[in-house]
Amino acid sequence: MPENLPVRAQHSRGASIAIRRAEGQVPYRDALAEMDVRNRAIAAGEASELLWLLEHPPVYTAGTSAGEGELLDPRFEVVEAGRGGRYTYHGPGQRLGYAMLDLTKRGRDVRCFVHALEGWVIDTLGDLGVESWRSEGRIGIWTRDIDGSEAKIGAIGVRVRRWVTMHGFSVNIDPDLSHFAGIVPCGIAEFGVTSLARLGVTITAAEWDRALLARGEAFLNMLPENPDR
């Protein structure tokens, strides 16, 4: 059966947020095309909002601020993502959440949306026993690696078009961390990348999805109301 996130009536006027879980790997370019179509449909009032949980085959994606010198070894396909941010790696063992929400229903506050998205990931990681945090001046979700140093465990990158959001977040469950060596992740060279598996947390993608969705209502409650809707 289709799943839906709970939505407060004053925000949605009875609408629901659909949830799509991809079981196999979705090529990145295919995902971009699907997000584009869904974005236009949501903006036109022809489709519900959507949270899409998925994985990609190995790919490097370039955000709008990506620097040429940050692509160190293009061993995988490199795709212009159209989102904010710099270079990011996506691949098997990493779970992505693409959130396509209509911000005309949710305060038209992009900064608040990004903050809420970060908080959703941080709270979910906390439920799994992993403390994580935002770091001033550094994009992403950070935690303490096994050697005690700070390391990135999740990435954030969004685009907003016609007040409908695209892209979202990624969390490292058990990817091949050596694949990150082909780029300077998010333009930050002095810190490493880690994963739940490296930190000793064994979890499947389905288990991650359940933990994330259990926090779905709290995420929505972090978004402001729009008094005009």
Catalytic entry in 151, 186, 213, 223: 186
- What would the DSSP string read from start to end of the chain? --EEE---HHHHTT--EEEEEEEEE--HHHHHHHHHHHHHHHHTTSS-EEEEEEE-SSEEEE-TT--GGGB----S-EEE--SSSSEEEE-TTEEEEEEE-BGGGTTT-HHHHHHHHHHHHHHHHHHTT--EEEETTEEEEEEE-TTSSEEEEEEEEEEEETTEEEEEEEEESS--GGGGGGB-GGG--SSEE--TTTTT----HHHHHHHHHHTHHHHHHTSPP-TT-
Residue 143, annotated ligand binder?
A: no
Residue 219, annotated ligand binder?
A: no
Residue 28, annotated ligand binder?
A: no
Residue 90, annotated ligand binder?
A: yes
Residue 194, annotated ligand binder?
A: no
Is residue 112 annotated as a catalytic residue, yes or no?
A: no
Residue 169, annotated ligand binder?
A: yes
Residue 56, annotated ligand binder?
A: no
Residue 168, annotated ligand binder?
A: yes
Residue 170, annotated ligand binder?
A: yes
- Joined together, the tokens standing for residue 181 give 């060596």
Residue 113, annotated ligand binder?
A: no
- Residues annotated within the binding site for substrate are 83-90, 155-157, 168-170
* Positions marked catalytic: 186
Which residue ranges are tagged as binding site? 83-90, 155-157, 168-170
